[in-house]
Amino acid sequence: MEAADTEEDEEETSRGVAFDPDTTIFMSPKIPVHAQQALRKLREFSKQNVARYTWVCAPDCSEACKQAETEGPYSVEEGLSGLAPVPGVGAYKTCKCTIAPARG
Ligand SMILES: [Zn+2]
């Protein structure tokens, strides 16, 4: 009997992660994934000429988050430079809130 020559140990070339060089700046291990997503959103807002964003609280968010929502909207530029609160960043590290474009 002839053994079928099955090569199952193909080299795994795809490690699943392909970083966009544009966003690599936000891929620091110190920054939670949630914050990275929020920052990416901010960059998209910036590209779409959206100047301001509003904080959108998650259903179970903290008092600090509710305050952040109340105090908005914020400047997209300030969010990107760390001057305005961003979900997942700093004091909101464990936060699951999101952001949305603000009109006007
Ligand atoms: Zn939150």
- Token pair, residue 4, equals 């079928």
Q: 43 pLDDT band (50/70/90 cuts)?
A: very high
For residue 34, give the H/E element and its range. helix 33-47
The span from the CA of 72 to the CA of 74, in Å, is 5
> pLDDT tens for residues 20-41?
545 445 555 677 889 999 999 9
Diameter over CA atoms, the chain: 77
47 CA distance to ligand 1 middle (Å): 25
Phi, psi (degrees; rounded to nearest 5) at 17: -125, 120
pTM of the model: 0.70
4 CA distance to ligand 1 middle (Å): 57
Q: Is 53 helix (H, G, I), strand (E, B) or coil?
A: strand
62 CA distance to ligand 1 middle (Å): 6
The ranges assigned to domains in the chain are 28-102
> pLDDT tens for residues 52-102?
999 999 999 999 999 999 999 999 999 999 999 999 998 898 899 999 999
